[in-house]
Amino acid sequence: MEKNLLSYPAFYISAYFDRTREEYYTRLRQISQSGDLNGWIAYFLNAIRTQALLNITRASDIVSLYDSMKGIIPQVIRSQYSIAVMDTLFQRPIVSSTDFMEISQIPPESGKRILQKLRDAGILDIIREGKGRNPNIYQFTKMVQIVENEIST
């Protein structure tokens, strides 16, 4: 945040509390029952440490994914818009086809072709088919999995 690398804080300590819900309530109860503030502080500091390490891992995984996509996306789409595609996918890993073209500033015909190539290559998945005026919704699955901590690259 200080170096303007993040647009908002991305440190969610509540995720740790959710994963360790039983201990969370036990530590709170021990404060009121026996005044064990040190136990709560140790638990809380461990939560901060654990979440910080998780964020470091996620950031590293995102950088690794970006580095690998720098070699893959230009070969898949064979277009002058490779950088715009990369920037858009890493900015918005879940995006409608219309938002993709607006954010990337790629002309609609080229954008449709690029989205299809990315889908054919398994880089993007459709998570909701478009109907009528509603556009397709695409997901950059590898990025979403990293953010949701389901995989590590």
Q: pLDDT tens digit string along 7-18?
A: 666 677 888 999
Q: Which helix (H) or strand (E) holds 18?
A: helix 13-19
Distance CA 104, CA 15 (A): 32
Average pLDDT over residues 76-99: 96
Q: What's the whole-model pTM score?
A: 0.78
Q: What is 13-147's CATH topology? A: Arc Repressor Mutant, subunit A (1.10.10)
Packed helices 37-77 and 108-120: angle between N→C axes, nearest 10 degrees: 110
Helix (H, G, I), strand (E, B) or coil at 39: helix
Per-residue pLDDT of 103-136, as tens digits, reads 999 999 999 999 999 999 999 999 999 999 999 9
Q: Which residue has the tokens 């880089």?
A: 123
Output the pLDDT for position 135: 95
Q: Where are the domains of the chain?
A: 13-147
Residues for the chain: how many in total? 153
